[in-house]
C-alpha cells in the first residue's frame, strides 16, 4: 500500500503520483525573485483559481485553459522545480526525504496538515485583489517539519 516507499517517482502510476500531492496549495502562491540575488520570496497572494477555504484549485482538470502558466509537476521536471517549498511531497521524495508526519497519505485526511499550519488554508489573498506583490511577502510557506 505504501507505494511511495517501494517505488521510485518514475515508477509510480498517474494515480499514485496525484496522491502524493498533499494539496497544501503553497505552489499556487505568487512568488518573486530578486533580480540581483536570485533569491526567491513567497507571497500570500494566491492564483485566481485557488480556493482559500480548502486550498484546492477550483478548475483543476481544466486549469490550463484558465491559467496557461500553471506548472504541472511531473517526474521529468521535478529536478528543475526548486521553487517548490521544502515541505512539498514531490520535492521531499526527490531529495530522498520521507513524507512528513502530517501528510494526508499517512494521516488519512488534511486535518493535521491544516492544524500544523502546513497549508495555505485561510491565509491567502486572491491575486485579482492585489496590486503590488511586494506588499505581501511572507515567510510561513517556507516552514517545513520533520
The site for ligand SF4 (CB under 6 A) is made up of 21-28, 47, 49-50, 57, 63, 67, 70, 73, 84-85, 88-90
> Is the Cβ of residue 7 or residue 19 nearer to ligand SF4 in the bound state?
19
Q: Give the cell for residue 37.
A: 540575488
> Is the Cβ of residue 23 or residue 75 nearer to ligand SF4 in the bound state?
23
Q: Give the cell for residue 120.
A: 495555505
Contact 116, 122 (CB under 8 A): no
> Is the Cβ of residue 37 or residue 69 nearer to ligand SF4 in the bound state?
69
Query: In whole angstroms, how close is the CB of 66 to ligand SF4 at the nearest point?
Result: 6
Query: In whole angstroms, how close is the CB of 3 to ligand SF4 at the nearest point?
Result: 16
d(CA 89, CA 52): 20
Distances, alpha carbon 115 to alpha carbons 46, 67, 68, in Å: 20, 29, 32
Amino acid at each position: 500500500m505504501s507505494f511511495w516507499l517501494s517505488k521510485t517517482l518514475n515508477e509510480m502510476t498517474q494515480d499514485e503520483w496525484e496522491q502524493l500531492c498533499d494539496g497544501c496549495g503553497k505552489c499556487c502562491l505568487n512568488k518573486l525573485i530578486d533580480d540581483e540575488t536570485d533569491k526567491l520570496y513567497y507571497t500570500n497572494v494566491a492564483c485566481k483559481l485557488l480556493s482559500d477555504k480548502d486550498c484546492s484549485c477550483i478548475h483543476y482538470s481544466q486549469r490550463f485553459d484558465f491559467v496557461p502558466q500553471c506548472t504541472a509537476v511531473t517526474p521529468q521536471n521535478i529536478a528543475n522545480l526548486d521553487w517548490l517549498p521544502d515541505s512539498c511531497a514531490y520535492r521531499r521524495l526527490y531529495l530522498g526525504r520521507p513524507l512528513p508526519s502530517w501528510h494526508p497519505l499517512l494521516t488519512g485526511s488534511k486535518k493535521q496538515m491544516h492544524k500544523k499550519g502546513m497549508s495555505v488554508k485561510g491565509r491567502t489573498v486572491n491575486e485579482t485583489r492585489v496590486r503590488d506583490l511586494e506588499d505581501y511577502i511572507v515567510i510561513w510557506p517556507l516552514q517545513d517539519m520533520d
